[in-house]
Structure 1
Amino acid sequence: MPFIEESDLLDLHKDIDKAQIINERLLDQIKFKNKDLRKIRLQRNILLGFTSLFIVGTLAITSFTAGLSSKNSFENQNNLLVSLDSLEAIKTRMGNLKVQNEELSLVKEFYLAKAFLDKEKVYSVQVKSFVENNVTLASEALTNTLFVKTNPFYAYSLGNFETLDEAQSFRKQLVNMGFKDAFVASYQDGKRVKIEDPY
């Protein structure tokens, strides 16, 4: 079995830590976008309410004043034109809010999909097992490594894959690097479900 150089292992851990920091930043952005989404929805609803009241009020006032005097018909037409211009501005604002709402919906869907995948079965490639838990190769804080107790051993696995094909491909790469005993296993909720077919 080949040995991993300490510098390579440190580089691997640094890369994994960077990926985890990026994931945490993305989650923070998702939370921030969700707050913005709620605020935009509230603003949109308030804006729609005021727009409806404005339009109804403008139409009521216009029709009331048009019925009272025919002398002021020219002024009523000017008022109606001003109202139509305001209506166009409101329509433009509503269109912008709709685009923002769609963008925030995509962010929300990504967040929900990630939460769903955390509960699904994942595949990983086990490269080593130990009798005692005295190995400092992995930390549970790292996102692409698994260190799981499989009685009576502690299993060390690399990679988290959604599909068996991806894990098998990664296993082939590890075998070519010298990890001849590597095999694919499926995990769910932090526990090994079964050892998968290597091919």
Structure 2
Amino acid sequence: MPFIEESDLLDLHKDIDKAQIINERLLDQIKFKNKDLRKLKLQRNVLLSISLLFIVSVLAITSYTAGFSSKNALENQNNLLVSIDSLDAIKTRIDNLKLQNQELSLVHEFYLAKAFLEKEKIYSVQIKSFVDNNVTLASEALTNTLFVKTNPFYAYSLGNFETLDEARVFRKQLVQMGFEDAFVASYQDGKRVQIEDPY
């Protein structure tokens, strides 16, 4: 196996580490937005329930008092005008909640897309396999690595790529550095699917 400086290997992983940090921050933001979405949905449902209860009670009161004398009819008319003003305020609030719900739906769709991508196939470049699970060979600064059990060995791979072409480019760089046995493999749900054609 060729000799490689740890600093050279760390330089190769800077971009990969940056992408992983961005993904972690994005996932945290998605979780926070998802909590807000649930909270706003609950508030919307409570507000709609209160609004419906208010409307039903106003209608019940006005219909009950409608049978009284003309003096009571005049008072009912004033009460009805007040309730119409209240209904306008409620309608405005409902429209605002609908707009907020649309914005949160976009965040929710993004979260679902992110969850879907986690189930997708990724590509990584395997550079070594061991009989024992010896992860002490890697520096703690290298966070974008895979240690996968491929019976009867443990495979050590570098990088997580969305496309096969990206992984092939990274493999070429490693081969130029002396890792002539490096190859690209595809992984899904934490398991190796297949060894890919290097060209």
TM-score by length of 2: 0.71
Residue identity opposite 1:157 in structure 2: L
What SS is found at the alignment partner of 1:93? helix
The partner residue of 1:171 within 168, 172, 177 is 168
What SS is found at the alignment partner of 1:185? strand
In the TM superposition, 1:1-199 aligns within 5 A as 6-126=6-126, 128-129=127-128, 133=134, 135-136=137-138, 142=143, 144-150=144-150, 151-152=152-153, 154-161=155-162, 166-172=163-169, 174-175=171-172, 177=173, 179=175, 181=180, 182-199=182-199
* Conserved? CA contact 1:186–1:192, under 8 Å: yes
Per the alignment, do residues 97 and 158 of structure 1 end up closer, same or farther by CA in structure 2, a change over 3 Å counting? same
Q: Provide the C-alpha distance between the structure 2 equivalents of 1:173 and 1:16, rounded to a whole number of angstroms.
A: 11
Question: Taking CA–CA contacts closer than 8 Å with sequence separation of 6 or more, which of the two structures ends up with the larger relative contact order?
Answer: 2
TM-score by length of 1: 0.71
Q: Which runs of 5+ in 2 are unaligned?
A: none
How far residue 92 of structure 1 moved from its aligned partner, in angstroms, is 1.9
The percentage of aligned residue pairs carrying the same residue is 68
Number of positions where the alignment pairs a residue of Structure 1 with one of Structure 2: 191
Deviations 1:18-68 (A, max 9, x none): 444443333333333333333322222222222112112212222333331
* Conserved? CA contact 1:121–1:188, under 8 Å: yes
Q: Which runs of 5+ in 1 are unaligned?
A: none
Instruction: Please provide the CA RMSD for this pair.
Output: 3.5
Per the alignment, do residues 121 and 21 of structure 1 end up closer, same or farther by CA in structure 2, a change over 3 Å counting? closer
Q: Provide the C-alpha distance between the structure 1 equivalents of 2:90 and 2:4, rounded to a whole number of angstroms.
A: 63
